[in-house]
Amino acid sequence: MIKSFFVSLLLACMIFSTPSLAGGKHDFSFKVSRGDAFYKFFYSAGLSGKLLTKLMTSDESAQRLNNIYPGDEFRIILNENHSLKQIIFNPANDNPLFIYYDGKRFSFEKSNKQPVGDVSFTVITINKSLNYDAKKAGVDAEVIKMMVDNFSWEIDFSRDLRKGDKFVLSWENEKTPSAMIYISGRKTIALFSHKDSLGRKKYYSANGETLNDSFKFAPAKYNRISSSFSLRRYHPTLKTYRPHRGTDFAAPSGTPVYAPAKGLVKYVATLSGYGNVIYLKHGSEYVTVYAHLSKFAKGLKSGERVKKGELIGYVGTTGMSTGPHLHYEIRINGVHKDAEKVKLNKKSIVPNAEMAGFQKRAKRILSELNIK
Ligand SMILES: [Zn+2]
């Protein structure tokens, strides 16, 4: 009883003790050490116990200030009359809390962007999906699409993402991030922005290459193109005019077929028209199709990643076909394109002259984010 009275008295003294003189300073920064409490910092800035009580009872967000840990940081900013203007609470392992005071009431703002040196960053922790969790973290749709377009060359968003995987975006005063980093228990993929000579921003891994791959024109050695892409072609088997939404490469049965770019095996099947067919997905936009194969490469199965130039199957004449050839399709966002004419994006590389600067910047961003 007596003991608890003294504890209460002690607390009351601490809360209502008179403010110390803070001199001419208007901006105070504090780092939390073991045993620290928020009120200590509040008083160190020359603010009163009465104001502290008002702050702590103003909004439930203020309760966050009761749970501080070593490494957390505070900034307390006063106006020219030495009255409280703003408190920035920057916890080591959480998003920052901004508290504003207009002389009458407090307002609270929780930010998804964490200030770190010159760089601020957003952490997206996967709970449901990238789209859902990134939106929740305040990332706009354009940036989410950019993340998908880039990372899809290495990550299959429908299969590879796990709960708890993280995406970190770093920002340096531009609408799009200066770096995008995927971190999971299995791998880390870090991409850094770099502008080409025309000012176009692209994302490169630390070795200076974009994640997307350039496509080789033909996936197999061939004698001739026996049938080009056409929206109206006389079909020799069906004896009618039908679109031919692919390119036929005539080649002997058994000729190896290689992936023209790195990708993901989406589908391996035997269909009545296509015969033995493989669908490869490259990034978020490209799908390529290989039909009438005599057989598949040993062990090839859907969900597997293939490298550029990796054997996937052999030319044949299975399905609706009049002779050995490879029927090859390129689809971009679901639309069939003429392989002989389409211009596909190429892998970009940071020019030699800019490489040292690019890599230095990449290293700085990683160290500011404390990622190895
Ligand atoms: Zn064909």
Tens of pLDDT, residue by residue over 173-224, are 788 999 999 999 889 999 999 998 788 899 999 999 999 999 999 999 999 9
CA–centroid distance, residue 225 to ligand 1 (Å): 10
Class of 224-337 in CATH: mainly beta
Boundaries of CATH 2.70.70.10 in the chain? 224-337
Strand order in the sheet with 113-116: 113-116, 119-125, 166-171, 179-183, 188-195, 201-205
Residues of the chain with CATH 3.10.450.350: 2-111, 119-212+356-368
Q: Strand, coil or helix: what is 132?
A: helix
User: What's the pLDDT score for residue 14?
Assistant: 41
Cβ 156 vs Cβ 344: under 8 Å: no
Alpha-carbon distance of 239 to 93, in angstroms, equals 68
Query: How confident is residue 18, by pLDDT bands cut at 50, 70 and 90?
Result: very low
Q: What pLDDT is attached to residue 4?
A: 44
Residues β-bridged to residue 288 = 280, 330
* Statement: residue 15 has pLDDT above 60: no
Share the mean pLDDT of the chain.
Answer: 88
pLDDT of residue 113: 63
Q: What sign for the dihedral angle of Cα 234, 238, 242, 248?
A: negative
Q: CATH for 2-111?
A: 3.10.450.350
CB 243 within 8 A of CB 231: yes
Is the Cβ–Cβ distance between 153 and 283 less than 8 Å? Answer: yes
In angstroms, the Cα distances linking 100 to 73, 81, 189 are 17, 16, 37
Distance (Å) from CA 62 to ligand 1 centroid: 67
Q: Which amino acid belongs to residue 355? A: M
Separation CA 263–CA 73 (nearest Å):
45
Q: Stretch 321-332: mean pLDDT, rounded?
A: 96
Instruction: List the structure tokens of 225.
Output: 């193109």
Centre of ligand 1 to C-alpha 94, Å, is: 56
Residue 11 has pLDDT above 70, yes or no: no
Q: What is the pLDDT of residue 26?
A: 79
Better-predicted residue by pLDDT, 72 or 258 = 258
pLDDT of residue 319: 96
Mark the residues whose beta carbon lies below 5 A from ion ligand 1. 246, 248, 327
DSSP state of 21: P
pLDDT of residue 118: 59
The angle subtended at Cα 310 by Cα 304 and Cα 311, nearest 5°, is 95
Mean pLDDT of 76-105: 86
- ipTM score of complex: 0.98
179: enclosing H helix or E strand: strand 179-183
Predicted pLDDT of residue 90: 84
Mean pLDDT on 88-103: 84
CA 261 to chain centre: 22
Q: Which CATH architecture has domain 119-212+356-368?
A: Roll (3.10)
Position 281 pLDDT exceeds 80: yes
Kindly give the distance from the C-alpha atom of residue 71 to the centroid of ligand 1, in angstroms, as a whole number: 64
Q: What is the pLDDT of residues 158-168, one digit of tens each?
A: 888 999 999 99
* Ligand 1 center from residue 322 Cα (angstroms): 10
The answer to whether residue 259 scores a pLDDT higher than 80 is yes
Confidence check: pLDDT of 133 > 80: yes
DSSP H or E segment with residue 266: strand 263-271
Q: How far is the CA of 244 from the centre of ligand 1 (A)?
A: 6
- At 30, the amino acid letter reads F
Q: Assess whether pLDDT exceeds 90 at residue 131.
A: yes
- Output the CA 301–ligand 1 centroid distance in Å: 23
Q: How confident is the model at residue 5, as a pLDDT?
A: 42
Task: Take residue 240 and report the two structure tokens written for it.
Answer: 């009618």
Give the residue among 257, 281, 256 at the shortest CA–CA distance from 267.
281
CA 315 to ligand 1 centroid distance, Å: 12
Q: Is 261 in contact with 214 (CB distance < 8 Å)?
A: yes
Task: Identify the band that residue 119 occupies on the pLDDT scale cut at 50, 70 and 90.
Answer: low
